[in-house]
Structure 1
């Protein structure tokens, strides 16, 4: 079984309170830590990788992001999905080629750019082109940015999810969705749902699963917590 097949299978969860938990490595060393801890797959956070490379979130050059993903994928034997933001302006074929060259089995693709939501129909057409270019070689996680762009009504999120899954997305990711609306999203969305969890606070992955999450990621939370721990160690050494 190929890594992408393994990754797809991991999304077919046996129980609602057992979502797929995907830690977010920001470099090869952190990837090894998560893999050695027994996690069956990983998902890079673009903000965490940006911080590790010395960039602000959203400012990482494409070449550096793909190089970082390649180092992470090379460092571990488990499947690695890559957050490649809104695709860096690449044509779908080029984007897919770069992801596969880096060793990724999946990708996150956002539906906003520069803080502005994209037209959902145009974005769905673009996702369909990505799906066509990738065939079955990539697991496509379509991030939906409605909540983080101030759209509190869940209905537009459900509508976007329907368009994106119809276009071939394997999973949708309503980032920033409040926990109270997760059951409503679960009822209205067909297929896997990615939910972000907070590190050290908030609902547990199991609790998020009970509310509708198929998989749980942490964004840059683990990288930021690691930096906090390093700051504490640095202070102790003074």
Structure 2
């Protein structure tokens, strides 16, 4: 790899200044390198996609698992990497700050912190607590490299899609607390997305797209700055695997016909050695 961590972070921050870019989510070194080969500008890890590679459910991996994943993925590609860092793997503020510093020291160009409770209790942190946590994460990032992008996430729409106004208000508070980018998974309607964009402007908004719908050009017209797919690519890969494997179980080899060429894959990955 030829780009330094500093160069990756500068490039990643620049992507957030104008326009709209796609931030696909690899789940291992191979998928990250393939996405670089295909010409994407930046990457974001996926907590679910990575957990599935370990044979675990989403939220079933530890902080140390994720840090090892980041330390393998970041130097494997020239693209900036944004880390899906769940809720920072800590409830106590001091522990959250320490964990954020470790992620930045692993070389990520950015990381996201969710508002799902990290103390084993169900639900989400209230706005005041979420603000305190984002302020702590911001301070921890700045102690290592202020160029790294902090993404604040609220997950409340994934459990109750009707709480759009509450989610937007929370995003505004987290933007004021030091988040560089705002992200509310579960926000899908054009009017709601545009309302969030207006509410936190000029700070950028990340939109999660998990199924076919509006084109990237249409989403850009809504004012969204970046688009990610979460575990979407991983689910697509697992879907192909399951269909082929279920065919094998039934005595058919037809599912293997959809596989990529081994020659092509070898040629692509040979460029990274």
- TM-score with structure 1 setting the length: 0.91
Separation in 2 of the partners of 1:103 and 1:185? 30
Q: CA deviation at 1:183?
A: 1.8
Aligned to 1:206: 217
Paired residues, what number? 233
Residue 151 (structure 2) pairs with residue 157 (structure 1): no
Residue 14 (structure 2) pairs with residue 3 (structure 1): no
Moved >4 Å (runs of 4+):
none
Separation in 1 of the partners of 2:73 and 2:82? 10
SS of the equivalent of 2:242 reads helix
Q: CA deviation at 1:9?
A: 0.3
Query: RMSD of the TM alignment (CA)?
Result: 1.7
Higher-Rg structure is 2
Residue 112 of structure 1, aligned match among 116, 124, 128: 116
Separation in 1 of the partners of 2:29 and 2:161? 36
Aligned to 1:85: 86
| Greater per-residue strand proportion | 1
Separation in 1 of the partners of 2:8 and 2:178? 19
Aligned to 1:33: 34
Report matched runs for 1:14-33 at 5 Å. 14=19, 19-33=20-34
Deviation per CA, 1:36-84, whole angstroms, max 9, x where unpaired? Answer: 1111110001111111111111111111111112211121011101101
Aligned to 1:100: 104
Which ranges in structure 1 are unaligned for 5 or more consecutive residues? Answer: none
Separation in 1 of the partners of 2:54 and 2:71? 14
Which structure carries more relative contact order (alpha carbon 8 Å, separation 6+)? 1
